[in-house]
Structure 1
């Protein structure tokens, strides 16, 4: 109720530690009593659920306690939050690195400059209309660093202009009253700018109709404005599309190797922290969160690059089936590592060292990922990872069959990633 009402919780905290300990004692006593002849497995699972519920309620309580303790976060917490934000220093070296044709930024700048020169020449000498600046404006808006986004924006721009021209003409023809047209004009303007950041197609449709109604108030023929708007848009889109395809193109398939290497490095570090946890060593919360962030960011970048590659011409797509398999396997691997790590983090502070079977599975998985990284990016692979010795803890634990199955699955997925990587690396060498 406090959460729903957004007010502080004033109830007294209840400590169930003693109650849970008594339940644990009684369940252990049932295990020692052979006369019962029953299994206490269900009772143990219920006890685990009760501990989990208690922990979750405690986390909710701590939220209220921390929010009441101080209105502003502590300096230490602010410093911790700064670790999760990417920082980029202003350096002259960054400028020099972008003054070469190897830089995607420099290539896009050259591409934009040449496309704008062509658009200016066309609008100034070949097609001089009342609003010929629309050609140059369309080029600057449509031409993007990536070909796939340029292609998508061109399609949305042309289709939106056609639909908006039809909508504006219909309003001017069916609603001849000036007051009604002005009301529609205001409505279209609000809709156009409301969707500018989210749905570009909707923005183009309504801003085109808005411009037609606006020019009709200035005494221009809306039929002529529609024709000029459509012709200028098509010409600008054609120049932008041709520049994106012919002038220093930046194909996604040429950059996928970097995204794959980043995903492999992130999963390799993620798997090593899982090995440290299984070895009985504590896992710092911030270190775990930073590793998890790197895995999520690298996986999202890889998936986005793959989707952009699919929007490019077929001749520029290199091994799309194997690349898709790599993306899927990478996601499966990171998801299973995250699930297993979260389970171990919620366990006791010190877990027993992993048995020989799990150690072999972890060693094999780490070796597979490192081998794949070496094939993708040999200069960024680094030394082969090794598992450190397990910390001395209580030796009363038995092998967990479920844990061994999960680790064996991680080993299998990493092996599959190695096979796909080998195919992709061979294709890259052939090119």
Structure 2
């Protein structure tokens, strides 16, 4: 028995190490065989009779069998991971991560003007060519490469981001130039200047991915102090840097505005379609939940994740559209209403997903739920002709199945919540029509 317990402890130790290292594990222990051997020996003790009762030993054997079964359950997870099957309540985390396969067709699709990546590549090429010519012929200097560098850094695939980066670059350069000149003018000590240069360098690179304006504000005085320590006159240097920054930003801004841009208003319908489809699936999962229809927990979490992601994408696209020129914006107030209504719909669906399933819904409760699903489907079909109506057969129950049923306070509350969801779905349909109207 002691040998079996020792083997079981070693097995658990190896399993724990495999889980921490995120690697597969194959058992080498023969716990089942050892259990059978132990059972034979315990039965033999009971048959002898002279050594006393073996009841306590049998209870210990039962506990060891339970522990062995749990160890086998853990090992089954490793086996299912190797075969690609799921086991028990295991979450399929790979389904939460998008996978993209690269092939020749994908490359071909990105070599046309329908691809935003291809358009940005051409735009970047032309803008950098103009920046290179300007730095060589029109504004030559010791550091004229700053024009080309600024153009490369400022030009982004989206016009709104290009506009924002240009604003941050110009403001940060001006503020940083003032800080650098004041440091060099008021603090003549080279040691102190060197210490401040190191501090500014650390701050600049620390905020490079989180706050670009702080990066630029600290980067400019850092460069000024560094060149000053090398013996370069800082007044002429700051003048050249400001001029080159303005020229580079002007080239990037003009390229983003003039060279075949793709405005967010032209892409909003794609994001609207994704949000409607995600909310429709989310509402369908709610209907299955409160109707007692069984479904996998991972499927529900995937649907909820799609709602969050699609809503965030739509909100971000709407904010980008607002930062674009007024002439390119379309139906801003209606799109804002569409975004808000979908947020309200998703939050109300989430608020009642914890309702305990199992009890059949009364017709008075099923009707608003079906109407909401049909309303969202109609709105989705206006944006996607290939959209299919969801299967709602589990909601189709004849009123005779509930003769003279009196709704409980919980049923009344649920009915009111579903009626509100139905109203929101109807408002989404009206807003969709207003957006699609020319």
Q: Tell me the TM-score range normalised by the shorter chain.
A: 0.7 to 0.9
Counterpart residue number, 1:364:
371
Counterpart residue number, 1:237:
249
Contact 2:366 2:395 survives alignment (8 Å): no
CA deviations over 1:30-66 (Å, ceiling 9, x no partner): xxxxxxxxxxxxxxxxxxxxxxxxxxxxxxxxxxxx9
Shift of 1:173: 0.5
Counterpart residue number, 2:346:
334
Counterpart residue number, 1:172:
184
CA deviations over 1:329-371 (Å, ceiling 9, x no partner): 0000011111111x22xx2xx4211111222111111111111
Counterpart residue number, 1:376:
383
Structure 2 CA distance for partners of 1:144 and 1:100, relative to 1, 3 Å: same
CA deviations over 1:104-152 (Å, ceiling 9, x no partner): 1111111100000100011111110110000000011000000000000
Greater Rg by CA:
2
CA distance in 2, matches of 1:231, 1:174: 24
Counterpart residue number, 1:42:
none
Contact 1:185 1:214 survives alignment (8 Å): yes
Contact 1:188 1:210 survives alignment (8 Å): yes
Counterpart residue number, 2:214:
202
Matched, 1:351 2:358: yes
Give ranges in structure 1 of 5+ residues lacking alignment: 1-65
Runs (4 or more) in structure 1 with deviation over 3 Å come to 73-79, 394-399
Matched, 1:285 2:297: yes
Describe how 1:185-196 pairs up with structure 2 within 5 A: 185-196=197-208
Further displaced range: 233-242 or 361-370 = 361-370
Structure 2 CA distance for partners of 1:174 and 1:308, relative to 1, 3 Å: same
Matched, 1:405 2:434: no
CA distance in 2, matches of 1:172, 1:397: 84
Contact 1:280 1:390 survives alignment (8 Å): no
CA distance in 1, matches of 2:112, 2:375: 36
Counterpart residue number, 1:269:
281
CA RMSD for the aligned pairs?
2.2
TM-score of the aligned structures, taking structure 2 as reference length? 0.77
Matched, 1:259 2:271: yes
Contact 1:279 1:353 survives alignment (8 Å): yes
Structure 2 CA distance for partners of 1:258 and 1:238, relative to 1, 3 Å: same
Contact 1:156 1:200 survives alignment (8 Å): yes
Counterpart residue number, 1:385:
390
Matched, 1:157 2:169: yes
Shift of 1:397: 8.7
Describe how 1:107-186 pairs up with structure 2 within 5 A: 107-186=119-198
Counterpart residue number, 2:428:
417
TM-score of the aligned structures, taking structure 1 as reference length? 0.78
Contact 2:151 2:251 survives alignment (8 Å): yes
Counterpart residue number, 2:327:
315
Counterpart residue number, 2:15:
none
Give ranges in structure 2 of 5+ residues lacking alignment: 1-69
CA distance in 2, matches of 1:179, 1:78: 61
Structure 2 CA distance for partners of 1:426 and 1:230, relative to 1, 3 Å: same
CA distance in 2, matches of 1:190, 1:78: 45
Contact 1:191 1:206 survives alignment (8 Å): yes
CA deviations over 1:278-313 (Å, ceiling 9, x no partner): 222123210110000000000000000001111001
Describe how 1:76-87 pairs up with structure 2 within 5 A: 76=86, 80-87=92-99
CA distance in 2, matches of 1:359, 1:79: 31
CA deviations over 1:234-257 (Å, ceiling 9, x no partner): 000000000000001121111100
Structure 2 CA distance for partners of 1:317 and 1:279, relative to 1, 3 Å: same
SS at match of 2:394: coil
Shift of 1:79: 6.6
CA distance in 2, matches of 1:253, 1:78: 42
CA distance in 2, matches of 1:363, 1:397: 21
Structure 2 CA distance for partners of 1:79 and 1:355, relative to 1, 3 Å: closer
